[in-house]
Amino acid sequence: MKTMPWRDFIALVASIGVVGLGLGATIPLTALTLHQRGVGTDIIGIITAVSAFGILAAAPFVSRWVAGHGPRGCMIGAIVAGGLSTALMEATDNLLLWGLLRFVFGACMGVLFTIGEAWVNRLAPVNSRGRVVAMYTTSFTLFQLIGPALVAGVANRIALPFASCGALFLLALPGMLLISDAGHGADDEAHVAWQRILPRMWMIAIGAAFFALFDTLALSLLPLYAMRQGIVTELALLSATVVLVGDTALQFAFGWLADHLGRRRVHVGCGIAVCVLLPALPFAAGTPWLWWTLLLMLGATAGAIYMLSLVACGERFKGQSLVAASAVVNASWGITSAGGPLLTGVLMQTAGINALPAVLWCGAAIFIASAWWEYKRG
Protein backbone atom coordinates (compact mmCIF):
# COMPACT_ATOMS: atom_id res chain seq x y z
CA MET A 1 0.00 0.00 0.00
CA LYS A 2 1.27 3.47 -0.89
CA THR A 3 2.62 5.44 2.08
CA MET A 4 2.12 9.15 2.54
CA PRO A 5 5.23 11.24 1.66
CA TRP A 6 4.73 13.68 4.52
CA ARG A 7 7.71 15.93 3.79
CA ASP A 8 6.52 16.63 0.26
CA PHE A 9 2.93 17.07 1.42
CA ILE A 10 3.79 19.51 4.22
CA ALA A 11 6.05 21.51 1.92
CA LEU A 12 3.33 21.67 -0.76
CA VAL A 13 0.64 22.69 1.77
CA ALA A 14 2.93 25.35 3.27
CA SER A 15 3.68 26.79 -0.16
CA ILE A 16 0.03 26.84 -1.22
CA GLY A 17 -0.89 28.33 2.16
CA VAL A 18 1.46 31.26 1.54
CA VAL A 19 -0.09 31.69 -1.91
CA GLY A 20 -3.53 31.74 -0.27
CA LEU A 21 -2.34 34.40 2.18
CA GLY A 22 -1.03 36.56 -0.67
CA LEU A 23 -4.21 36.05 -2.68
CA GLY A 24 -6.43 36.87 0.30
CA ALA A 25 -4.46 40.06 0.92
CA THR A 26 -4.15 41.20 -2.70
CA ILE A 27 -7.86 41.10 -3.64
CA PRO A 28 -9.15 43.45 -0.88
CA LEU A 29 -6.04 45.65 -1.15
CA THR A 30 -6.78 46.21 -4.84
CA ALA A 31 -10.43 47.09 -4.18
CA LEU A 32 -9.56 49.33 -1.21
CA THR A 33 -6.88 51.24 -3.13
CA LEU A 34 -9.17 51.83 -6.11
CA HIS A 35 -11.98 52.98 -3.82
CA GLN A 36 -9.65 55.45 -2.08
CA ARG A 37 -8.72 56.86 -5.50
CA GLY A 38 -12.39 57.50 -6.26
CA VAL A 39 -12.81 54.73 -8.83
CA GLY A 40 -16.41 53.52 -9.22
CA THR A 41 -17.61 50.11 -8.15
CA ASP A 42 -18.24 49.11 -11.77
CA ILE A 43 -14.57 49.54 -12.67
CA ILE A 44 -13.49 47.84 -9.44
CA GLY A 45 -15.72 44.89 -10.35
CA ILE A 46 -14.25 44.68 -13.86
CA ILE A 47 -10.65 44.73 -12.61
CA THR A 48 -11.52 42.09 -10.01
CA ALA A 49 -13.17 39.88 -12.65
CA VAL A 50 -10.14 40.13 -14.96
CA SER A 51 -8.26 37.73 -12.67
CA ALA A 52 -10.90 35.07 -13.33
CA PHE A 53 -10.37 35.52 -17.07
CA GLY A 54 -6.64 35.01 -16.47
CA ILE A 55 -7.38 31.69 -14.74
CA LEU A 56 -9.53 30.68 -17.70
CA ALA A 57 -6.92 31.75 -20.27
CA ALA A 58 -4.14 29.70 -18.65
CA ALA A 59 -6.17 26.51 -18.17
CA PRO A 60 -5.75 25.02 -21.69
CA PHE A 61 -1.94 25.30 -21.56
CA VAL A 62 -1.05 24.01 -18.09
CA SER A 63 -0.91 20.34 -19.04
CA ARG A 64 1.48 21.12 -21.93
CA TRP A 65 3.69 23.26 -19.67
CA VAL A 66 3.86 20.53 -17.02
CA ALA A 67 4.72 17.92 -19.67
CA GLY A 68 7.62 20.09 -20.78
CA HIS A 69 8.94 21.61 -17.55
CA GLY A 70 7.61 19.50 -14.67
CA PRO A 71 5.19 20.63 -11.96
CA ARG A 72 7.76 22.17 -9.62
CA GLY A 73 9.35 24.31 -12.33
CA CYS A 74 5.94 25.55 -13.48
CA MET A 75 4.82 26.37 -9.94
CA ILE A 76 8.04 28.25 -9.13
CA GLY A 77 7.66 30.27 -12.34
CA ALA A 78 4.01 31.05 -11.51
CA ILE A 79 4.89 32.13 -7.94
CA VAL A 80 7.61 34.51 -9.17
CA ALA A 81 5.41 35.92 -11.96
CA GLY A 82 2.44 36.32 -9.61
CA GLY A 83 4.53 38.15 -7.05
CA LEU A 84 6.08 40.39 -9.71
CA SER A 85 2.70 41.27 -11.28
CA THR A 86 1.43 42.27 -7.84
CA ALA A 87 4.52 44.33 -6.98
CA LEU A 88 4.35 46.19 -10.32
CA MET A 89 0.93 47.58 -9.36
CA GLU A 90 2.92 49.86 -7.04
CA ALA A 91 4.57 51.53 -10.03
CA THR A 92 1.51 52.79 -11.92
CA ASP A 93 -1.97 54.27 -11.46
CA ASN A 94 -3.04 53.42 -15.01
CA LEU A 95 -6.21 51.32 -14.83
CA LEU A 96 -5.52 49.55 -18.13
CA LEU A 97 -2.12 48.43 -16.86
CA TRP A 98 -3.71 47.34 -13.58
CA GLY A 99 -6.17 45.24 -15.57
CA LEU A 100 -3.32 43.65 -17.52
CA LEU A 101 -1.36 42.93 -14.34
CA ARG A 102 -4.43 41.39 -12.70
CA PHE A 103 -4.93 39.22 -15.80
CA VAL A 104 -1.34 37.96 -15.52
CA PHE A 105 -1.85 37.43 -11.79
CA GLY A 106 -4.99 35.37 -12.43
CA ALA A 107 -3.17 33.23 -15.01
CA CYS A 108 -0.42 32.55 -12.45
CA MET A 109 -2.99 31.57 -9.83
CA GLY A 110 -4.63 29.24 -12.37
CA VAL A 111 -1.30 27.49 -12.96
CA LEU A 112 -0.69 27.13 -9.21
CA PHE A 113 -4.17 25.82 -8.44
CA THR A 114 -4.16 23.35 -11.34
CA ILE A 115 -0.76 21.85 -10.56
CA GLY A 116 -1.18 21.97 -6.77
CA GLU A 117 -4.50 20.12 -6.90
CA ALA A 118 -3.12 17.50 -9.26
CA TRP A 119 0.04 17.10 -7.18
CA VAL A 120 -1.74 16.59 -3.86
CA ASN A 121 -3.87 13.90 -5.52
CA ARG A 122 -0.69 12.16 -6.69
CA LEU A 123 0.75 12.25 -3.18
CA ALA A 124 -2.41 10.95 -1.48
CA PRO A 125 -2.83 7.23 -0.71
CA VAL A 126 -6.08 5.81 -2.08
CA ASN A 127 -7.54 4.91 1.32
CA SER A 128 -7.04 8.40 2.78
CA ARG A 129 -7.41 10.60 -0.29
CA GLY A 130 -10.43 12.45 1.12
CA ARG A 131 -8.64 13.46 4.31
CA VAL A 132 -5.42 14.41 2.52
CA VAL A 133 -7.18 16.62 -0.04
CA ALA A 134 -9.28 18.12 2.78
CA MET A 135 -6.12 19.10 4.68
CA TYR A 136 -4.82 20.77 1.51
CA THR A 137 -8.01 22.76 0.84
CA THR A 138 -8.43 23.66 4.52
CA SER A 139 -4.92 25.07 4.67
CA PHE A 140 -5.45 27.21 1.59
CA THR A 141 -8.81 28.56 2.78
CA LEU A 142 -7.50 29.26 6.29
CA PHE A 143 -4.60 31.32 4.99
CA GLN A 144 -6.89 33.07 2.51
CA LEU A 145 -9.09 34.07 5.46
CA ILE A 146 -6.10 35.65 7.19
CA GLY A 147 -5.28 37.79 4.13
CA PRO A 148 -8.08 40.40 4.50
CA ALA A 149 -7.35 40.72 8.23
CA LEU A 150 -3.70 41.36 7.35
CA VAL A 151 -4.72 44.13 4.96
CA ALA A 152 -7.04 45.68 7.55
CA GLY A 153 -4.24 45.70 10.10
CA VAL A 154 -1.35 47.07 8.05
CA ALA A 155 -2.75 48.73 4.90
CA ASN A 156 -2.21 52.27 6.17
CA ARG A 157 1.08 51.53 7.92
CA ILE A 158 3.13 50.21 4.99
CA ALA A 159 4.63 52.60 2.46
CA LEU A 160 4.62 50.07 -0.42
CA PRO A 161 1.67 47.71 0.17
CA PHE A 162 1.60 46.08 -3.29
CA ALA A 163 5.35 45.51 -3.29
CA SER A 164 5.00 43.96 0.17
CA CYS A 165 2.21 41.66 -1.07
CA GLY A 166 4.33 40.69 -4.05
CA ALA A 167 7.21 39.81 -1.76
CA LEU A 168 4.82 37.74 0.34
CA PHE A 169 4.38 35.29 -2.55
CA LEU A 170 8.12 34.67 -2.64
CA LEU A 171 7.89 33.11 0.82
CA ALA A 172 6.32 30.10 -0.94
CA LEU A 173 9.57 29.34 -2.80
CA PRO A 174 11.49 27.56 0.01
CA GLY A 175 8.68 25.05 0.40
CA MET A 176 8.66 24.37 -3.33
CA LEU A 177 12.40 23.70 -3.30
CA LEU A 178 11.94 21.12 -0.53
CA ILE A 179 9.53 19.02 -2.60
CA SER A 180 11.01 16.11 -4.50
CA ASP A 181 10.22 16.35 -8.21
CA ALA A 182 10.99 12.67 -8.69
CA GLY A 183 7.94 10.68 -9.67
CA HIS A 184 5.83 13.78 -10.03
CA GLY A 185 7.42 15.49 -12.94
CA ALA A 186 6.86 15.39 -16.67
CA ASP A 187 5.50 11.90 -17.21
CA ASP A 188 6.36 9.72 -20.17
CA GLU A 189 2.75 10.24 -21.20
CA ALA A 190 2.38 13.10 -23.66
CA HIS A 191 0.28 16.20 -23.11
CA VAL A 192 -3.42 15.35 -22.83
CA ALA A 193 -5.96 17.75 -24.33
CA TRP A 194 -8.85 18.86 -22.11
CA GLN A 195 -11.33 17.87 -24.84
CA ARG A 196 -10.47 14.20 -24.19
CA ILE A 197 -11.01 14.59 -20.46
CA LEU A 198 -14.20 16.66 -20.20
CA PRO A 199 -16.70 13.95 -21.28
CA ARG A 200 -15.51 11.82 -18.32
CA MET A 201 -15.86 14.52 -15.69
CA TRP A 202 -19.07 16.49 -16.16
CA MET A 203 -20.10 15.96 -12.53
CA ILE A 204 -16.66 17.08 -11.31
CA ALA A 205 -16.61 20.20 -13.49
CA ILE A 206 -20.15 21.18 -12.51
CA GLY A 207 -19.35 20.64 -8.82
CA ALA A 208 -16.34 22.96 -9.12
CA ALA A 209 -18.40 25.51 -11.05
CA PHE A 210 -21.10 25.47 -8.38
CA PHE A 211 -18.65 26.19 -5.59
CA ALA A 212 -17.01 28.97 -7.63
CA LEU A 213 -20.47 30.53 -7.97
CA PHE A 214 -21.16 30.04 -4.26
CA ASP A 215 -17.79 31.45 -3.20
CA THR A 216 -17.88 34.56 -5.39
CA LEU A 217 -21.50 35.36 -4.49
CA ALA A 218 -20.78 34.89 -0.79
CA LEU A 219 -17.87 37.33 -0.98
CA SER A 220 -19.55 39.88 -3.23
CA LEU A 221 -23.34 39.86 -2.86
CA LEU A 222 -24.18 37.99 0.36
CA PRO A 223 -23.43 41.02 2.61
CA LEU A 224 -25.73 43.15 0.44
CA TYR A 225 -28.41 40.44 0.61
CA ALA A 226 -28.12 40.38 4.42
CA MET A 227 -28.48 44.16 4.63
CA ARG A 228 -31.55 44.07 2.39
CA GLN A 229 -33.00 41.46 4.76
CA GLY A 230 -32.69 43.94 7.64
CA ILE A 231 -29.42 42.77 9.21
CA VAL A 232 -27.29 45.67 10.46
CA THR A 233 -24.33 46.57 8.27
CA GLU A 234 -21.60 45.46 10.69
CA LEU A 235 -23.10 41.99 11.06
CA ALA A 236 -24.01 41.75 7.36
CA LEU A 237 -20.35 42.25 6.45
CA LEU A 238 -19.46 39.30 8.69
CA SER A 239 -21.72 36.96 6.71
CA ALA A 240 -19.07 36.14 4.10
CA THR A 241 -16.51 35.45 6.82
CA VAL A 242 -18.87 33.05 8.60
CA VAL A 243 -19.41 31.15 5.33
CA LEU A 244 -15.65 30.81 4.89
CA VAL A 245 -15.25 29.68 8.50
CA GLY A 246 -17.79 26.90 7.87
CA ASP A 247 -15.90 25.93 4.72
CA THR A 248 -12.60 25.84 6.61
CA ALA A 249 -13.70 24.12 9.81
CA LEU A 250 -15.46 21.03 8.48
CA GLN A 251 -13.56 19.96 5.35
CA PHE A 252 -11.56 17.30 7.16
CA ALA A 253 -14.76 15.81 8.58
CA PHE A 254 -16.23 15.49 5.09
CA GLY A 255 -12.97 14.04 3.81
CA TRP A 256 -13.10 11.42 6.59
CA LEU A 257 -16.69 10.59 5.69
CA ALA A 258 -15.76 10.23 2.02
CA ASP A 259 -12.94 7.81 2.91
CA HIS A 260 -15.24 5.67 5.06
CA LEU A 261 -18.65 5.94 3.36
CA GLY A 262 -17.61 6.46 -0.26
CA ARG A 263 -16.82 9.68 -2.09
CA ARG A 264 -19.85 9.67 -4.41
CA ARG A 265 -22.33 9.16 -1.58
CA VAL A 266 -20.95 12.07 0.47
CA HIS A 267 -20.52 14.25 -2.64
CA VAL A 268 -24.15 13.94 -3.70
CA GLY A 269 -25.30 14.20 -0.07
CA CYS A 270 -23.62 17.60 0.21
CA GLY A 271 -25.44 18.78 -2.92
CA ILE A 272 -28.77 17.65 -1.48
CA ALA A 273 -27.97 19.38 1.83
CA VAL A 274 -27.32 22.67 0.02
CA CYS A 275 -30.65 22.38 -1.79
CA VAL A 276 -32.43 21.78 1.53
CA LEU A 277 -30.69 24.62 3.37
CA LEU A 278 -30.91 27.41 0.79
CA PRO A 279 -34.72 27.88 0.83
CA ALA A 280 -34.48 28.63 4.57
CA LEU A 281 -32.12 31.59 3.99
CA PRO A 282 -34.82 34.31 3.60
CA PHE A 283 -36.60 33.14 6.75
CA ALA A 284 -33.44 32.90 8.88
CA ALA A 285 -32.43 36.56 8.58
CA GLY A 286 -34.70 37.64 11.44
CA THR A 287 -33.25 35.08 13.87
CA PRO A 288 -29.51 35.68 14.46
CA TRP A 289 -28.58 32.23 15.79
CA LEU A 290 -30.39 30.55 12.89
CA TRP A 291 -28.79 32.89 10.33
CA TRP A 292 -25.23 32.19 11.52
CA THR A 293 -25.85 28.46 11.89
CA LEU A 294 -27.29 28.27 8.37
CA LEU A 295 -24.33 30.16 6.90
CA LEU A 296 -21.86 27.86 8.66
CA MET A 297 -23.65 24.77 7.34
CA LEU A 298 -23.91 26.17 3.82
CA GLY A 299 -20.21 27.06 3.80
CA ALA A 300 -19.27 23.58 5.00
CA THR A 301 -21.43 21.62 2.55
CA ALA A 302 -20.74 23.84 -0.47
CA GLY A 303 -17.00 23.76 0.25
CA ALA A 304 -17.14 19.97 0.52
CA ILE A 305 -18.63 19.78 -2.98
CA TYR A 306 -15.48 21.42 -4.35
CA MET A 307 -13.09 19.43 -2.18
CA LEU A 308 -14.74 16.15 -3.20
CA SER A 309 -14.58 17.19 -6.86
CA LEU A 310 -10.80 17.31 -6.42
CA VAL A 311 -10.91 13.89 -4.75
CA ALA A 312 -12.90 12.56 -7.71
CA CYS A 313 -10.20 13.84 -10.09
CA GLY A 314 -7.62 11.77 -8.21
CA GLU A 315 -9.87 8.70 -8.31
CA ARG A 316 -10.41 8.83 -12.06
CA PHE A 317 -7.25 10.22 -13.63
CA LYS A 318 -3.51 9.68 -13.49
CA GLY A 319 -0.42 11.33 -14.97
CA GLN A 320 -0.98 14.05 -17.54
CA SER A 321 -4.68 13.19 -17.61
CA LEU A 322 -4.88 14.28 -13.95
CA VAL A 323 -3.22 17.61 -14.78
CA ALA A 324 -5.67 18.12 -17.66
CA ALA A 325 -8.61 17.27 -15.36
CA SER A 326 -7.38 19.80 -12.78
CA ALA A 327 -7.14 22.38 -15.56
CA VAL A 328 -10.79 21.72 -16.48
CA VAL A 329 -11.74 22.22 -12.82
CA ASN A 330 -10.00 25.59 -12.76
CA ALA A 331 -11.47 26.61 -16.11
CA SER A 332 -14.92 25.86 -14.66
CA TRP A 333 -14.00 28.04 -11.70
CA GLY A 334 -12.86 30.89 -13.96
CA ILE A 335 -16.00 30.84 -16.13
CA THR A 336 -18.43 30.81 -13.22
CA SER A 337 -16.63 33.29 -10.99
CA ALA A 338 -16.40 35.75 -13.86
CA GLY A 339 -20.00 35.51 -15.04
CA GLY A 340 -21.91 34.39 -11.93
CA PRO A 341 -21.89 37.66 -9.93
CA LEU A 342 -22.82 39.69 -13.02
CA LEU A 343 -25.86 37.50 -13.83
CA THR A 344 -26.96 37.25 -10.20
CA GLY A 345 -26.59 40.99 -9.64
CA VAL A 346 -28.84 41.70 -12.62
CA LEU A 347 -31.45 39.17 -11.40
CA MET A 348 -31.39 40.63 -7.87
CA GLN A 349 -32.01 44.07 -9.37
CA THR A 350 -34.86 42.96 -11.63
CA ALA A 351 -36.49 40.00 -9.87
CA GLY A 352 -35.76 40.77 -6.22
CA ILE A 353 -33.09 40.00 -3.65
CA ASN A 354 -34.13 36.36 -3.26
CA ALA A 355 -32.67 35.75 -6.69
CA LEU A 356 -29.42 35.12 -4.79
CA PRO A 357 -30.51 31.89 -3.02
CA ALA A 358 -32.54 30.94 -6.10
CA VAL A 359 -29.48 31.07 -8.39
CA LEU A 360 -27.44 29.07 -5.89
CA TRP A 361 -30.24 26.51 -5.54
CA CYS A 362 -30.36 26.05 -9.31
CA GLY A 363 -26.59 25.54 -9.37
CA ALA A 364 -26.76 22.86 -6.68
CA ALA A 365 -29.70 21.19 -8.43
CA ILE A 366 -27.75 21.04 -11.70
CA PHE A 367 -24.89 19.40 -9.80
CA ILE A 368 -27.25 16.73 -8.39
CA ALA A 369 -28.74 16.18 -11.86
CA SER A 370 -25.24 15.70 -13.32
CA ALA A 371 -24.49 13.11 -10.63
CA TRP A 372 -27.70 11.23 -11.48
CA TRP A 373 -26.93 11.40 -15.22
CA GLU A 374 -23.41 10.10 -14.62
CA TYR A 375 -24.76 7.25 -12.46
CA LYS A 376 -27.28 6.26 -15.15
CA ARG A 377 -24.48 6.18 -17.74
CA GLY A 378 -22.55 3.81 -15.47
Write the DSSP string, 145-208: HHHHHHHHHHTTT-S-HHHHHHHHHHTTHHHHHHS--TTSSS-SSPP--HHHHGGG-HHHHHHH
Separation of alpha carbons 212 and 194, rounded Å: 19
- Examine the domain organization and report whether 237 and 308 are in the same domain: yes
Helix (H/G/I), strand (E/B), else coil: 92:
coil
Separation of alpha carbons 80 and 98, rounded Å: 18
pLDDT band with cut points at 50, 70 and 90 for residue 228: confident
Taking alpha carbons only, the member of 148, 120, 154, 114 closest to residue 134 is 120
pLDDT band with cut points at 50, 70 and 90 for residue 41: low
Question: Is 152's pLDDT higher than 70?
Answer: no
Taking alpha carbons only, the member of 194, 210, 206, 193 closest to residue 373 is 206
Q: Which of 162, 189, 216 is the last residue of a domain?
A: 189
The CATH number covering residue 356 comes to 1.20.1250.20
Question: Is 180's pLDDT higher than 50?
Answer: yes
- Examine the domain organization and report whether 20 and 109 are in the same domain: yes
Separation of alpha carbons 170 and 177, rounded Å: 12
Q: Residue 61: what pLDDT?
A: 86
- Examine the domain organization and report whether 157 and 168 are in the same domain: yes
pTM for the whole structure: 0.86
Tens of pLDDT, residue by residue over 295-306, are: 999 999 999 999
Separation of alpha carbons 141 and 247, rounded Å: 8
Mean pLDDT of all residues in the chain? Answer: 86
- Examine the domain organization and report whether 210 and 176 are in the same domain: no
- Examine the domain organization and report whether 204 and 175 are in the same domain: no
- Examine the domain organization and report whether 159 and 58 are in the same domain: yes
pLDDT band with cut points at 50, 70 and 90 for residue 313: very high
Question: Is 9's pLDDT higher than 60?
Answer: yes
- Examine the domain organization and report whether 215 and 323 are in the same domain: yes
- Examine the domain organization and report whether 217 and 153 are in the same domain: no
Q: Which of 157, 189, 221 is the last residue of a domain?
A: 189
pLDDT band with cut points at 50, 70 and 90 for residue 238: confident
- Examine the domain organization and report whether 149 and 64 are in the same domain: yes
Question: Is 373's pLDDT higher than 80?
Answer: yes
Question: Is 155's pLDDT higher than 70?
Answer: no
Question: Is 275's pLDDT higher than 60?
Answer: yes
- Terminal Cα-to-Cα distance of the chain (whole angstroms): 28
Q: Provide the domain count of the chain.
A: 2
Q: Residue 256: what pLDDT?
A: 95
Q: Which residues span the domain enclosing 82?
A: 1-189
- Examine the domain organization and report whether 270 and 338 are in the same domain: yes
- Examine the domain organization and report whether 162 and 29 are in the same domain: yes
Tens of pLDDT, residue by residue over 43-93, are: 777 787 788 888 888 888 888 888 788 888 899 999 999 999 999 998 888
CB 331, CB 201: distance < 8 Å = no
Q: How many residues does the chain have?
A: 378
Question: Is 312's pLDDT higher than 50?
Answer: yes
- Examine the domain organization and report whether 199 and 334 are in the same domain: yes
Separation of alpha carbons 331 and 354, rounded Å: 28
Q: Which of 166, 189, 212 is the last residue of a domain?
A: 189
